[in-house]
Structure 1
Amino acid sequence: MNRVVVPGEPIGRLSESWRHCVGTGRLNLALRADYQESLAMVQRDIGFRYIRGHGLLSDDMGLHRVSNGQVRYSFTYVDQVFDRFLELGLRPFVELGFMPTALASGDDTVFWWKGNITPPKDLDEWAALVRALLRHLIDRYGLDEVRTWPIEVWNEPNLVNFWKDADQEAYFRLYETTARTVKDVDAGLQVGGPAISPGSDEWWAPFADFVTRRDVPIDFVSRHAYTSGPAQHVPFGTYQTLTAPELLLEQFDAPRKHLAATALAGLPVHITEFNTSYRPDNPIHDTAYNAAYLAPVLTGGTELVDSYSYWTFCDVFEEENVPTSLFHGGFGLLTHRQVPKPTYHLYAFMARMGSHVLARGVDHLVCATDDGRVTVLAWQPVGGSDAPEAPERHEVRLSVPMTGPRAFVRRERVNEHDGNAFGAWRELGRPRSPDRRTIEVLRDCARPAVEHRSAAVEGGRVLLDLALSRHEVTFVELIPVEPEEHTGLDDRRLLGGSDERLVAEHER
């Protein structure tokens, strides 16, 4: 195969849209220790900027309370959750939903935890709730801070699962009331929607027409993206087919295309949920395949949208009831008890990429840092259910620019064997409730395999030949080295001998 000659000068900057936001299970779960430990780990290794989840207004957050006909707004849980987010460097991407029971016009619910999906029985009471919430947030966190928090109206109103009868007119009324209320509180607050699911792009034209015709405030638009087919249910699990990963990027780009000829053209676009499967019990999420599949999406979406939010950061998540096994196909980058999945490492690798893009390809991204390091993310391309099975080996050959006489080359690998706790879990007999020792074994097996070497820099370049295993994602860091003189040191005098190759390299 041909060697890719990586340019010495950047072709652009790496946008941070890939980690602008991350998804979470319903916000009440943020009160749990396992959740908070997982979020702290994610922030340490990846560093998302915003976090979005359902259920801010649902009964288990206790915000809207009624007693003897009197309404009181309780912010006890909201404050605890948002305080912790901010302590960890995360801002809320505020999703307004679901409907508090005392405000609901019906009994229709979604999920095991029964989020109410009906419109408010009184739009004025809904507006009062939104107004009280925003004023409290401004009082607690400051106007300048809350102005940076996007406020999204509802979740997937185009689906009967999430909005009663998927009633478009009812959603438009809800959106208008909410948007005007937000702007009445402060004109600088950001409000948007409609947070539609895949397959409903026919909503864009009437939504754009409605907000334009009625001059309804809108600061951004949002939608979701998944590439899985119909659910094939098995006990406590689901399997689905997948289309090619390029279809995710097409979904990212859809809002701009559909809104290009409308008054909403040019608004920020947020993909507030994306993943391979939309099911929280599909084993694909736990696999190395999932990481390889999403690598070109994570690297390719940076120029298409303002954010694309992985759904979700951890498996503390209960839409389909409480999970029955440590590995159960959950959406999370982490399992319960902080065992990283391969896709977690994909994100952690991206967090260590340089900010200056040198080259992009179908199987690689090369960046440079301000201090002269070069970083490479490479992956084996996969193509979805209808594509040929991935071969056992994939090669990426690069010529990388580098300063100095030598480079230190460090590589980390995640594939079907390395950095793959799901594979180790299967080898351990698939324990549903591992003991402490087994959890530690799984965490050890989840670490990427590491290798390193010294490489000669010839003509300002290092030749990098990467042989990737099946479904591999690999991260390489090249660090320029200027050998220092240590008078009197001679590695040949070490007991047990020494590597003559290293001695020779040191003396060159």
Structure 2
Amino acid sequence: MLEERHEIIEFSPNIPLKIFMHKLGFVARHWHKSLELLMVLEGTIEITLDGTTYMLNGEDIILINSNSIHEIHSESAVMIALQIDLARMNQFDNSLENLSFDCNSSTSSDSGKFNGIRFTIATMIRENAHNAKGAEYKNYALCYYLVSELLSNFQVPTTEAMKTQQKYMVRLTRIINYIQEHYAENFSLSDLAESEQLSVPYLSNFFDKHMGIKFSQYYTNVKLSHAVNDLLSSDDSIEAIAIKNGFTESHSFVRCFKKRYEMLPSTYRKDKKMQGLNAPTPENLNYLLIEPSSYLHKLTKYLGNIDESFYNTSREYTDEINRSSISVASPMKELKHTFKKFTTVGRAKELLNSNIQSMLRDLQEHIGYEYIKFHGILSDDMMVVSRTGGKLQFHYVLVDMALDFLMSIHLKPLIQLSFMPKELASDLNKTTFYSAFNTSPPKEFSEWELLIEDFTKHLIERYGIKEVLTWPFCVWNEPVTPKSMFGFGNDNLFFRFYEITYRTVKKVCPEIIFGSPSILYMENLGSDIWIRNFVAYTKKHNCIPEFMNMHYYSDIIPSVNNQNFYIAHAASSSFPKRTDDFSLWIGSIRKIISSLNLPDIPIYLTEWNFTLSHRNLINDTCFKSCYIMKNLLKNYDRLDSFGYWSLTDLLEENALPDTLFHGGLGIYTMNGLRKNVFYAFYFANMLGNELIMAEDGYFITRKEDCYQIITYNYIHYGNLFASGELFDITETSRYSAFDISRRLQVNLGLEQLENGRYEIIEYFVNREHGSCYDLWISMGGVPLNPQDTNLLRGLCVPGYHKEYRLVEKNTLSYTALLEPLEIRFAEIKPV
């Protein structure tokens, strides 16, 4: 397995250093002009450096000098690598780039003298957790601090052997390049000697001496590494792969391969395929297991001895948005407020939970949604299907209780026909979620048809045809995901399943609206191909969906053939560095659906959140409310719904944690506290129906003679968090991914108002107001008893400000000074 690496800190061009995180397997012998510092975070590596082999374990450090030939073996070890260009740091010593260092903790009895280097690495990572002003200067200072540590503790004289090695680097580079360019031509040492105008014996000795390996062995290793890539990325025969990669015939290839990998090429290919390494999608990946990576957390202990002022930005910066001459008399457009089309809850069974019912009542009272999306209306926890004496029986007692409750709070259901009752399932072991749903296809399609027909008739009989015709129907959830989750492992089988379900519902009542299954569209996993194939099938078989049912999460889940470095025991995802990913995603999905030449059908976003992870700690912070506010306002009404997933952290998808603020996805905590994201929707619900003006940072509407303004100070997370690393984010300290020194002042000049006296009311949510997580931290961050919870419930309200202003000359200036990640609603109305 070759090396995989990812640059976790992107320095400016003026910084002569780069920091990568590596996941290592085998890295062939090579060299580079820059110094390279390696620090092991997890696992063990075997490194051969200038002919000597060392074993490095957790937190060991080794420095590779300029032009030192090295080779690395490991079983997926994870390490930090720093590449240092000393030639760009020679202000004080012109010979700096020619110095040598002996820095290897695995051979030293004094581990403490390496702590200065560990401290530097940790501090650099912390400094660049977000893009704070002035970080470039600290980075530059830290580069020189690192060089000072190397000079003080690890400098050694440059030996004659090192000088000789460097003298011949140009020739070695030419030789290695020749081998890489011509490896498939089965050339001989004499061909290489001729290209270098050297004798064969001299070249053989030269290569052996300076590379530390015989030419024939090195050449064979190069051919094998290319052959391994072909084994895993193609279905070519062993014979074809052997010839393609420079082996004279398959027997010699098999013999060399077996000597190197201790197995036959065919066995190696089979084993890797079973591990999912040759699949176009990660068949063994379950996104419910996604956890942020914490490899770098091991470095935080080396920050303990530094003055906090070094890496905390003490000065606050205030950015400004200045927009004058905004005419309130000329609205841009009418608003439909499609974000209120859908809310969501985890599963049908949860609708019978009194705590969740209370949360839904609160949500409806203060916002008021039209539809609700949930899973599992037919699953075994709803006790729908039984079999007596071989005969199927259907029972809808719990279903009716759930739907009756929804009717009582004026919520209409999206009838997602899922999941498979065990009496109908083809595979009893194919389940997902902690409280398991069966996600296998039906054993007999005819029995599934019986259930769907009977269930549809029951809904019409109980709730009336007029009501049911207002309910959208669909079947299944995210069939694009692997078989280990919701997918069938066979797209055509699912397409047939969809068609049968569609026809069965339409047979009962052709006027029922039937849409696509819920589709998780993630660009890097190629889900657009699935969408195109699905729609092509529905056109061919005359079962075209009447709405598209989409899911968005910003996670970048690595595909198996391009796994990111930090995938290890649990899955992990990274996040977009671009701040407008959601807007671009909407554009992409609209373009895809437009290209399919479908009728003009709604595009419902029925699941939407920043991340799929139920355990990402920033889910509880003010980032979430600001992220939702920004993306909702920037894309207002661009889709026909924006169904935030999910109502509450009380989800039965994963085991429920003991901690209240565990990074859950909900609008409410498990015990019903409103999280800060609640107020993003609450503020949006108070907007008027006419849009006056909208740009980054603010959104202005009108309702009769009143004006509503939402402002927000969105701060994007830094590149380190974007790579999937939490680093020093902990349960009680969760804002280090953001530059929280940046305040924002929004200055808006409203014109053409009626003169007179106006009342301005403001509500705001920030770390001091309306964020139950931050209030919990201010209370000590300790476990809450019922009395504490009730106190927190009473305190967790937005901040409030009210004033009166006199408008003359038909002009009013409105100013909002926003704390980092604050959202603010203001209404201006005549008195």
Pick from 338, 344, 352 the counterpart of residue 31 of structure 1. Answer: 352
Equivalent-residue separation in structure 2 for 1:32 and 1:413 (angstroms):
32
Equivalent-residue separation in structure 2 for 1:190 and 1:285 (angstroms):
35
User: What is aligned with 1:423?
Assistant: 774
User: More displaced, 83-92 or 295-304?
Assistant: 295-304
Identity across matched positions, percent: 27
The answer to whether the 8 A contact 1:355-1:367 is kept is: yes
**1:327-366 to 2 correspondence within 5 Å?**
327-366=661-700
Equivalent-residue separation in structure 1 for 2:332 and 2:430 (angstroms):
52
Equivalent-residue separation in structure 1 for 2:501 and 2:342 (angstroms):
22
The answer to whether the 8 A contact 1:420-1:445 is kept is: no
Pick from 750, 754, 761 the counterpart of residue 403 of structure 1. Answer: 754
Tell me the CA shift for residue 243 of structure 1: 4.4
User: What is aligned with 1:129?
Assistant: 451
Letter of the 2:685 partner, please give it. A
Equivalent-residue separation in structure 1 for 2:538 and 2:620 (angstroms):
41
Matched, 1:260 2:594: yes
1:172-226, Cα deviation, whole Å (9 max, x unpaired): 0111011111111111111111322132122121112111111114211122101
Letter of the 1:359 partner, please give it. M
User: What is aligned with 2:541?
Assistant: 214
Matched, 1:379 2:712: yes
1:258-313, Cα deviation, whole Å (9 max, x unpaired): 12232325221111111001122222221111111121221233332111210011
Tell me the CA shift for residue 392 of structure 1: 3.0
Structure 1: any 5+ residue segments left out of the alignment? Answer: 482-508
**1:446-465 to 2 correspondence within 5 Å?**
446-465=796-815
The answer to whether the 8 A contact 2:765-2:824 is kept is: yes
**1:193-204 to 2 correspondence within 5 Å?**
193-199=516-522, 200-204=527-531
Equivalent-residue separation in structure 1 for 2:808 and 2:573 (angstroms):
50
Tell me the CA shift for residue 110 of structure 1: 0.3
Equivalent-residue separation in structure 2 for 1:441 and 1:349 (angstroms):
23
User: What is aligned with 2:490?
Assistant: 167
The answer to whether the 8 A contact 2:688-2:707 is kept is: yes
Letter of the 1:190 partner, please give it. I
SS at match of 1:102: coil
Letter of the 2:689 partner, please give it. S
The answer to whether the 8 A contact 1:220-1:268 is kept is: yes
Tell me the CA shift for residue 239 of structure 1: 8.5
Structure 2: any 5+ residue segments left out of the alignment? Answer: 1-319, 559-565, 723-737
Tell me the CA shift for residue 383 of structure 1: 2.8
Equivalent-residue separation in structure 2 for 1:385 and 1:153 (angstroms):
39
User: What is aligned with 1:315?
Assistant: 649
Distance change (3 Å), C-alpha of 1:207 and 1:41 = same
**1:261-280 to 2 correspondence within 5 Å?**
261-280=595-614
Letter of the 1:177 partner, please give it. I
SS at match of 2:503: helix
Tell me which structure has the larger Cα radius of gyration: 2
**1:3-152 to 2 correspondence within 5 Å?**
3-8=323-328, 9-106=330-427, 107-152=429-474
Equivalent-residue separation in structure 2 for 1:249 and 1:76 (angstroms):
42
The answer to whether the 8 A contact 2:634-2:695 is kept is: no
User: What is aligned with 2:512?
Assistant: 189
The answer to whether the 8 A contact 1:183-1:217 is kept is: no
Equivalent-residue separation in structure 1 for 2:587 and 2:372 (angstroms):
22
Letter of the 2:713 partner, please give it. Q
Matched, 1:179 2:530: no
Letter of the 2:770 partner, please give it. G
SS at match of 1:101: coil
The answer to whether the 8 A contact 1:227-1:244 is kept is: no
SS at match of 1:65: strand
Distance change (3 Å), C-alpha of 1:473 and 1:448 = same
User: More displaced, 19-28 or 231-240?
Assistant: 231-240
Tell me the CA shift for residue 361 of structure 1: 0.8
The answer to whether the 8 A contact 1:22-1:51 is kept is: yes
User: More displaced, 104-113 or 248-257?
Assistant: 248-257
Equivalent-residue separation in structure 2 for 1:328 and 1:43 (angstroms):
25
User: More displaced, 231-240 or 305-314?
Assistant: 231-240
1:314-358, Cα deviation, whole Å (9 max, x unpaired): 222110122322222221111123211111001001111111111
SS at match of 1:6: strand
Q: Higher relative CO (CA 8 A, sep ≥ 6), structure 1 or 2?
A: 1
Letter of the 2:781 partner, please give it. R
The answer to whether the 8 A contact 2:476-2:518 is kept is: yes
SS at match of 2:376: coil
Letter of the 1:376 partner, please give it. I
Equivalent-residue separation in structure 1 for 2:498 and 2:570 (angstroms):
36
The answer to whether the 8 A contact 1:411-1:450 is kept is: yes
Tell me the CA shift for residue 428 of structure 1: 3.0
The answer to whether the 8 A contact 2:345-2:648 is kept is: yes
The answer to whether the 8 A contact 2:557-2:572 is kept is: no
Distance change (3 Å), C-alpha of 1:424 and 1:186 = same
Letter of the 1:7 partner, please give it. S
1:344-390, Cα deviation, whole Å (9 max, x unpaired): 001001111111111111111111112x1111111012334438735
Matched, 1:287 2:585: no
The answer to whether the 8 A contact 1:155-1:194 is kept is: yes
Equivalent-residue separation in structure 2 for 1:95 and 1:49 (angstroms):
16
1:38-97, Cα deviation, whole Å (9 max, x unpaired): 110011111111111111111001112222322111111111111111111110011111
1:395-418, Cα deviation, whole Å (9 max, x unpaired): 111123533411111111111222
For normalisation by structure 1, the TM-score amounts to 0.89
Equivalent-residue separation in structure 1 for 2:358 and 2:420 (angstroms):
29
Distance change (3 Å), C-alpha of 1:382 and 1:141 = same
1:22-50, Cα deviation, whole Å (9 max, x unpaired): 11111101111110111100111111111
Aligned length: 479
Q: Which runs of 4+ in 1 moved over 6 A?
A: 231-239
1:100-140, Cα deviation, whole Å (9 max, x unpaired): 11111102100101111111111121111111111111111
Tell me the CA shift for residue 233 of structure 1: 10
